[in-house]
Chain A
Amino acid sequence: MAHVQQLEGAKYICCCGSLKPICSIYFCRHCLRLRCPYCVSHEVDSHYCGNCSENMPSAEAKQKKNRCGTCYDCPSCRQTLTIRATTIQIPSEADPAKLAVQKLYYLACGFCRWTSRDAGLPDSPSTSGTWQEPESPFSKEIVHMHDYLRVLALREKNSKEKKFVHKSKYLAAGRHGLAHLLPKRYPISTPDEMYKPIPPPEYVAPTKGDDEFQELSDKFFEEEINVPKVTSLEQRLHQLETQPHETSALLPTHKQLLIKRSLRCRVCERNISKPEYSPVSVKFKIQLNAFYHVVQVRMAAPLSQPLNPGGTATILLKLSNPTQFPTSIKFLPFAFVPLSKDDLSSQMGALDVKVDPARESSTDVSLPSNISSPSTSITIIASPSHGGRSALPSESSSSSQMMKEVHVLPIRNEKFVNNCRLVVVPEAEVVLPPKDETSDFVDDYADTPDFNDDPKLVPWRKANKATVCLDIVRDQNSNPEEEPVLGITIEYDYVNTIVALENKSSPGPQKVRLQTHVLISLNTGYIQ
């Protein structure tokens, strides 16, 4: 679909400054702002096995080290192992003189032909057979070390809580400022505690001399090396418990689980994407993809000829309204201002003032020179010219929201090229009716109501879609190497139903005016 709709050709600018095609950007219905995978927080929603599609509760997944209880991976090539059955004849229980058939199971890889027999594992009488798994030969010693360090750390903590000992002087003596990180064998504490001996550790790594660590013997070199029998680095790193040197020591490992992720808006801390729990379902409980909420803009037809610096062209843009409510679209000169932590204060003070041109030049954005309206980085604007509509949120709440965004959003501010602009900003707005799920199947033009369109601006429309015709000019001084990119800001109506749902006292859905900034690549190629 991305290819058919040329989604890469039109990139939406997220609040954090990421450029994304509409299908990979989100729209927070509470903040009424665009969000993208970069600036939302990702959370683990559920664990499941990609092979058997079984869910595993998080607590169990943690206990099983994020591994599926039934599926195994091939230790040799990481494909999923299959269970094979084989039969043997054993003396029957009822009559030892007769032979009975017993089924035995083993694991086999259909790809590289590794089997659990290669590892010397006996066949199992049950399909869920427990095949030996790799385990660190020193796990007991490591547990001792954990215990010992915990005792030390606990003592240090206790001694710290008694605050009367002057430790600062002593610790500063720890050389090179590493003092706060050193393992303090004998933490300084109260005098009586200081003399209390710490029990010696149960395990310390032994040291060995050259009598035990010997050079490779001549015998070692008499044998020819068989390279396929030595494990590769990858195989070793997939069996970290033992990191075997010979392939015969490779053991099957349980398959690692996968996760479903949910996304949360960092500003309002509400979910913007939450998958259904079932691993086999590809649906979502919450999915606030911008594709369903934001007016979609794309090129309706490629340019007829290359657009050189200084040149003009007429382009056709296709607009579509994905929402259940009519919207009215107005084109504006590109007015995106990136969020920046550095000049937060100046931005806050200068909300209604023209953006400082010096700062603009530093962000690699070539803004059109004829900015007529004050441009702020806020896309929600109170628009007095549409008096009949409720213009929410108010100016003050939107500035506080911006303040919050600057604090909690990770700012990316990707570099982009914007070298074209509109010759004339069309006065008229383009009204788009709501999306009707059935309209795609009805091929009837008679139904289309008359919107009194200027045929020069809107040459075509059907259902919730329309094409607009815009004259653009490419900046004279733009780099001819770069492809032409039109930066444009569109202002549209959005009906916020979530307010009515959450707030009973609210009179109903609120209609707000929103702005979105889009970069449209005019060549058929993509914006790099």
Chain B
Amino acid sequence: MDRDVKISALNVNFYYGKTLTLKNISLDILRKKVTALIGPSGCGKSTFIRLLNRMNDLIPGARVEGQILLDGFDIYHPKTDVVSLRRRVGMVFQKPNPFPKSIFDNLAYGLTISGMRDKRFIEHKVIDSLKKAALYNEVKDRLHDNALMLSGGQQQRLCIARCLVVEPEVILFDEPAASLDPISTRKIEELILELKDEYTIAIVTHNMQQAARVSDFTAFMYLGELVEYGDTERIFTVPREKMTEEYLSGKFG
């Protein structure tokens, strides 16, 4: 098989307490491709993406059934080390959430928590990541200013840079541009297209055009179910499911 699968969800059910929020989801996320998750608000996109780095572990009463494999290994296996999983699967959130620290310290954090003490290496990594996130030129003279002084779009690119520092294999984006203006949004999209050469990317968005612009594959979810999954181009031109077609043509959502 030439499909190069990075993450594979197999018959995943997810409960918030007693509420079944994700129903029997099976989905492959391919290596070094961008997979978009679209669907109306509340359909479970964030819930699903947060399963992939076990962020939902923090929610009391949350429960997962089925399997999620990363490079073939079950990330919900009792022996899985959540810390190293999260270093392999990074996440960028809906609202930019830099720490109330300097720009530099925001990025260095991911390294120092794993015991890295080599100042030269840290500095090199910080600058390298800022460059990859297309932020370096804008902040190079004020690396020691508080990150909260940056604009929203810059903050979000900082969060992307912060994620890159720890050299993840997968990056999860949960509506990364939802709170940004069109220009900042465009910058984030360009960035995602660049990052795809090196990283496996999953992006949640409820902006269909955005999904069309940045993704190779698209999964359409509705009420906790995966309705349709396939090539982005194919989904957007000849959707197989009636529901997908209606959603894409703006009949609901």
Whether both chains belong to one complex is answered with: no
Name B's A-contacting residues (CB within 8 A): none
- Chain A contact residues, CB within 8 Å of chain B: none
